[in-house]
């Protein structure tokens, strides 16, 4: 069973970031190849520099350096984006798990509350994506984004810091970015059966930190930086009561 679940994760790892994976692999191979070539040629370079025409030996290395720097930047940038993709897989699981728990929730009048389930799922997804969101001032979201979540996150960080330094401004920026750029696009049931599968789809806008690379691979966010949309889905069996109304029979309120 565990092996089947691991295999099922692989298509989701590549979903919506196929180009990023391709660029990451090509850039990594290019960095390895250039590093090996430079390592093999450094003795000849130093030997040539001692001669009168030594400058001619240095020209190829000087011309190669910008290309080498570009590939290194691509590896770093794509690695950050792929980490965000992996984080979105956890966020999608958190969202669908929250949907499973709150699917049977009722309002005070006893009616089903799909909006409450949606809100709880989005809250779970935002908190799950916060560690993977950008804390850079370059990507700072408005102070209103995630305002209700900043205080609980900072309180938790203070509780578990155990004497270590906690940058509250940095954590707040990560929570706000996650709140502004994470959403649960849909929560779907496979059928009306009580034990049907429930699927949550999470969308996250992963930012580029290097503008030049963002211009090549991403799309403008409208806030002065570039992003790439990351979409991830997760599926769990519904755990609602085994009856047609999927009602636990008692009032189920969140607050």
Q: Is residue 94 situated within a structural domain?
A: yes
Cα–Cα distance for residue pair 16/250, rounded to 1 Å: 42
Across 139-164, average pLDDT? 77
pLDDT tens digits, one per residue of 188-221: 887 777 678 889 999 999 999 987 888 889 888 8
Q: Three-state SS for 231? A: strand
Q: What angle do CA 191, 196, 201 make, to 5 degrees?
A: 85
Q: Three-state SS for 46? A: helix
226: alpha, beta or left, given left = phi > 0 and alpha = psi -120 to 50? beta
Rounded to the nearest integer, the mean pLDDT of the chain is 80
Across 84-100, average pLDDT? 93
Q: Is residue 252 situated within a structural domain?
A: no
Q: Is residue 254 situated within a structural domain?
A: no
Q: Is residue 137 situated within a structural domain?
A: yes
Q: Is the Cβ–Cβ distance between 130 and 175 less than 8 Å?
A: yes
Query: If you compute the radius of gyration of the chain from its CA atoms, what whole number of angstroms results?
Result: 24
In this prediction, residue 2 has a pLDDT band, given cuts at 50, 70 and 90, of: very low
Cα–Cα distance for residue pair 145/230, rounded to 1 Å: 20
Q: How many CB atoms neighbour CB 197 within 10 A?
A: 14
Q: What angle do CA 194, 234, 251 make, to 5 degrees?
A: 40
Least confident of 80-89, 151-160, 218-227: 151-160
Full residue range of the structural domain in which residue 127 is found = 2-237
**What's the token pair of residue 161?**
């810091």
Nearest to 97 by CA among 175, 200, 9, 19: 200
Q: Is residue 38 situated within a structural domain?
A: yes
Q: Total structural domains in the chain?
A: 1
124 or 60: which leads in pLDDT: 124
Cα–Cα distance for residue pair 38/48, rounded to 1 Å: 14
| pLDDT at residue 251 in the model | 60
Q: Is residue 242 situated within a structural domain?
A: no
Is residue 171 predicted with pLDDT exceeding 60?
yes
Cα–Cα distance for residue pair 68/208, rounded to 1 Å: 19
Nearest to 174 by CA among 156, 160, 192, 189: 156
Cα 58 → chain centroid: 42
Buried b / exposed e across 93-132, counting CB within 10 Å, b at 16+?
bbbbbbbbbbbbbbeeeeeebeebbbebbbbbbbbbbbbb
Residues 6+ apart with CB under 8 A from 128: 87, 90, 91, 93, 94, 95
Q: How many CB atoms neighbour CB 21 within 10 A?
A: 15
| pLDDT at residue 20 in the model | 94
Q: Is the Cβ–Cβ distance between 174 and 131 less than 8 Å?
A: yes
């Amino acid at each position: 069973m565990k092996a089947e679940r691991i295999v099922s994760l692989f298509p989701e790892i590549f979903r919506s970031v196929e180009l990023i994976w391709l660029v990451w692999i090509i850039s990594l191979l290019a960095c390895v190849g250039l590093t090996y070539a430079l390592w093999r040629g450094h003795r000849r370079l130093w030997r040539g520099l001692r001669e009168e025409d030594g400058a001619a030996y240095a020209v190829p290395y000087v011309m190669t350096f910008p290309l080498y720097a570009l590939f290194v930047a691509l590896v770093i940038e794509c690695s950050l984006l792929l980490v965000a993709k992996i984080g979105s897989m956890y966020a999608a699981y958190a969202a669908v798990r929250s949907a499973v728990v709150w699917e049977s929730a009722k309002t005070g009048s006893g009616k089903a509350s799909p909006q409450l389930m949606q809100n709880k799922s989005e809250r779970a997804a935002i908190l799950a994506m916060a560690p993977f969101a950008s804390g850079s001032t370059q990507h700072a979201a408005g102070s209103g984004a995630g305002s209700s979540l900043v205080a609980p996150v900072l309180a938790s960080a203070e509780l578990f810091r155990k004497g270590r330094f906690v940058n509250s401004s940095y954590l707040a920026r990560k929570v706000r970015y996650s709140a502004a750029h994470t959403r649960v696009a849909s929560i779907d049931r496979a059928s009306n059966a009580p034990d049907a599968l429930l699927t949550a789809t999470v969308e996250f806008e992963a930012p580029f930190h290097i503008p030049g690379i963002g211009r090549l691979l991403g799309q403008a966010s409208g806030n002065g930086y570039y992003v790439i949309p990351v979409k991830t889905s997760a599926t769990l069996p519904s755990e609602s009561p085994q009856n047609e109304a999927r009602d636990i029979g008692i009032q189920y309120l969140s607050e």
